[in-house]
A = this chain, B = another copy of it.
Amino acid sequence: MTEQEQIEALDRDDPLAAKRDEFVLPEHTVYLDGNSLGCLTIAARERAHEVVETQWGRDLIKSWNQHGWIDLPVRIGEKIARLIGAAPGQTICCDSTSVNLFKLLSVALQMQSERCIILSQKDNFPSDIYMAEGLRHLLGDNRVQLSLCEEDEIETAMHDKVAVLMLTQVNFRTGRLLNMQRLTERAHALGILVIWDLAHSAGVLPVELDACRVDFAVGCGYKYLNGGPGAPAFAYVAQRHLKHLHQPLSGWMGHSSPFQFDAYYTPAPDISQLLAGTPPVISMSVLDAALEVYRDIDTAQLRRKANALSELFRTLVQRSPELQDLQLVSPTLPQQRGAQLAYRHPQAYEICQALIAHRVIADFRAPDLLRVGFSPLPLRFIDISTSVTILTKIMRSESWRHPQFNSRSKVT
């Protein structure tokens, strides 16, 4: 078999191959940015049409009951729960990842009245750190301290004055996968509560929140979950903590009886207490439909294919003489990373722009990283070899030096 035939065989033998047909994909494009914004599914497109035209346009206010708008946050939460190892009743869809993190950081600190340190890693997703800073700004340095350590030193940085360990399971730049079980166990042994951000892990690898006895988690609806741009996020609270829950963004949707319009707040006695204001129903409905693609598959299957895709990319890059200036900053072993690879290159920005001009959509992370993501359902193995072929041509011809690829835009 030629290499081309071998790659075609991978697609032929792929048990998830048919899932690609559930997506609406741009033509003649290899999309390696599903870790930044997932692709549109047919089900999501249809639901968008239905929620706007029929539910809103025709049935208007009646849709809160008639089309189950009021239940969307819990219903979506339960669909996501399946993908993150959470038994029912602990997961809900609402607000943004950042806002949900604020709620759960507040709750965790309240539960730790004798401790005030939030420990995270320096290279955590910046918004996560910014939210902790915001809470510190609000509560004061006496009540919140922020301690940031290197990724390799998380275990040794834990001690019995730390209140909360806040980590992202898969690093947004390098793709490095942290050991959730080990770090959670170590934290608990020291009386530390843990909050995991699953932005780059939910929907692409097995996450076992219950089995790891995680306390709290948040995650994002618009990456591997394909919920659409800025899709609502989700939050998880372990069953054992629900009875202590009193989150500060106590809007009417988290009240035990929102439509009683009581004068005072009585928190809902379950996960729906995490709701604040009225949810963005259109965006939420689209996410609900997008999750249908996961109905009959499990995260182990997703993990196998994502690993095979990223390994194919890594191997092809490694073998190409033209690509030796691209320095892999992700772990070499697939079990140590999520579904992405990042390469360092001084001209990463220009290379990324040249790829996009050739219809290979990757992304750039300042100052010098080229990041490629491997969303396992829409991508074929042949797409991987196509993208590396194009990358090789760009690097060989140095076409990325063209001035058109040289002006940095606002969002990259």
Interface residues of A (CB under 8 A from B): 24, 26, 31, 33, 36-37, 39-40, 44-45, 48-49, 51-53, 55-65, 69-70, 95-99, 102, 106, 110, 122, 125-127, 129-131, 133-135, 137-139, 148, 220, 222, 228-233, 246-253, 255, 259-265, 276-284, 286, 356, 361, 363, 365-366, 409-412
Contact = CB atoms under 8 A, between A and B. Distances in A.
Contact of A248 (B61, B135, B255, B412): B135
A137 B249 CA distance: 10
A95 B106 contact: no
Contacts of A130: 250-252, 255, 264-265
A96 B251 CA distance: 9
A98 B39 contact: no
B49 A133 contact: no
Given A255-B126, A255-B130, A259-B410, A60 B33 contact: yes
Copies in the complex: 2
Contacts of A232: 280
A37 B282 CA distance: 13
Contacts of A261: 126, 365-366
A276 B96 contact: yes
B410 A229 contact: no
A126 B249 contact: no
Given A139-B139, A249-B134, A230 B278 contact: yes
A406 to B, nearest CB: 16
B250 A133 contact: yes
A139 B284 CA distance: 31
Given A133-B250, A410-B65, A95 B95 contact: yes
Nearest to A173: B261
Given A52-B286, A282-B282, 4 more contacts: A33-B60, A37-B60, A102-B249, A131-B276
Contacts of A131: 249-251, 276
A119 to B, nearest CB: 15
Given A96-B251, A138-B138, A410-B70, A126 B262 contact: yes
B277 A96 contact: yes
Contact of A265 (B39, B44, B52, B133): B133
Contact of A280 (B97, B125, B230, B260): B230
7 contacts: A26-B59, A33-B61, A40-B53, A40-B56, A62-B356, A130-B255, A134-B248
Given A33-B60, A286-B282, A127 B229 contact: no
A57 B45 contact: yes
Contact of A279 (B133, B230, B253): B230
